[in-house]
Amino acid sequence: MNFYSDHMKMADAIKISGWTYPPPYNFYDMGKTETSVAELLFDGYRAVRCDNDPLVGFYCLGQSAQVPAGHRFSAYDSEGPVIDIGIGMRPDLTGKGLGAEFLDFVMREIRRNYPTTALRLTVASFNQRAEKLYRRFGFRPLHQFEANGICFRVEYFEGRYLGYLRRATFDDERYLADWLRDPKDCHWATGTPNFSHEAYLSWWHAADQHGWMLDSTMGPLGYGEIWVDPLEGDVELAHLVVNAARRGQGIGRRLVEALYDQANDYGYPVTYMRVHPDNQGALHCYQSVGFQVVRETPGDWPDHYVWLRR
């Protein structure tokens, strides 16, 4: 979807204030009151539209995105500058997998004006759908408070915004085929000098390999897999590839961080990676996000790789 935003109009505010969500998300209903309409017309609110739809949602910045009760618990105290953000989508568009594209648009729009300022959002803990989405974008919970029987988490995002993680699809093969044209790159990522349809097919059908794409509204940025080994009780990150046209922008680091966070959902205490010893750029990248070289590797591990763990 091609999103864009502009000033909140009176007609937009009236429509949004009357949106109703199914339980438990009816917590976000505004009640269509004069007060809710007036709040939406504050400068901090922007209406979000797309090419074929005049109103798909909104976002807000500043105090409007905070839960007032959080101030009693110092949840919004900060040592440095920070921008609070809040988002909302039209009820009939929620739960359809559009949240990532929507938040990606909002993040990019904010980062154009505030490239380095920390971002902060508040989410009700019952809204697990939103929490999972924010994790995929790199938000991390730092504070928690309770108000009116509802637990809220205050989450932060720092640094450059470089996309979100989504499950890979079978059609993503075309991106890998383009990114792995160079035999050396292909060998480092896959162990063979040439990428093939058969190779991707084998990855796709492997029960213990789960492919993920670092994506954005500007196009896919990188690919990686999480290999799950229940017998050994660990996971491995493998087949990491960065869009050849976007290298040198920190995408590799963001890809590793996002995959590692996703791997934690499997509940295993250790995550491994391996890298060809000549691929010093990748080795430095992995170490920069906390992976450490395994000094003594088991005898059944391939010895022509540098193994790392975290």
Per-position DSSP letters for the chain, written without gaps between them:
--EEEEEPPHHHHHHHHT----TTGGGG---S-HHHHHHHTSTTEEEEEETTEEEEEEEEEGGGGS-GGGGGGTTT--SS-EEEEEEEE-GGGTTSS-HHHHHHHHHHHHHHH-SSSEEEEEEETT-HHHHHHHHHHT-EEEEEEEETTEEEEEEEE-S----EEEE--GGGHHHHHHHT-SHHHHHHHHSSSS--HHHHHHHHH-TTEEEEEEE-TT---EEEEEEEETTTTEEEEEEEEE-GGGTTSSHHHHHHHHHHHHHGGG--SEEEEEE-TT-HHHHHHHHHTT-EE-SS--TTS-TTSEEEE-
- Whether residues 184 and 276 share a domain: the answer is yes
- Whether residues 120 and 205 share a domain: the answer is no
What's the confidence (pLDDT) of residue 306?
94
What's the confidence (pLDDT) of residue 230?
93
- Whether residues 120 and 189 share a domain: the answer is no
Domain count, the chain: 2
- Whether residues 169 and 279 share a domain: the answer is yes
- Whether residues 149 and 17 share a domain: the answer is yes
- Whether residues 207 and 99 share a domain: the answer is no
- Whether residues 134 and 235 share a domain: the answer is no
- Whether residues 87 and 177 share a domain: the answer is no
77: domain CATH number is 3.40.630.30
Q: What is the pTM of this model?
A: 0.81
Last residue of a domain, one of 139, 157, 175: 157
- Whether residues 131 and 173 share a domain: the answer is no
Last residue of a domain, one of 110, 132, 157: 157
Say how far apart CA 225 and CA 208 lie, in whole Å.
10
Q: Which domain holds residue 34?
A: 3-157
- Whether residues 39 and 113 share a domain: the answer is yes
Last residue of a domain, one of 102, 122, 157: 157
Cα–Cα distances (Å) from 305 to 95, 155, 194, 236, 296, in that order, read 42, 37, 19, 14, 12
Per-residue pLDDT tens listing for the chain (310 residues): 789 999 999 999 999 999 999 999 999 999 999 999 999 998 789 999 998 889 999 999 999 999 999 999 999 998 889 999 999 999 999 999 899 999 999 999 999 999 989 999 999 999 999 998 998 898 999 999 999 999 999 999 998 888 999 999 999 999 999 999 999 999 999 999 999 999 999 999 999 999 999 998 889 999 999 999 999 899 999 999 999 899 889 999 999 999 999 999 899 999 999 999 999 999 999 999 999 999 888 888 888 899 999 9
- Whether residues 83 and 171 share a domain: the answer is no
- Whether residues 18 and 127 share a domain: the answer is yes
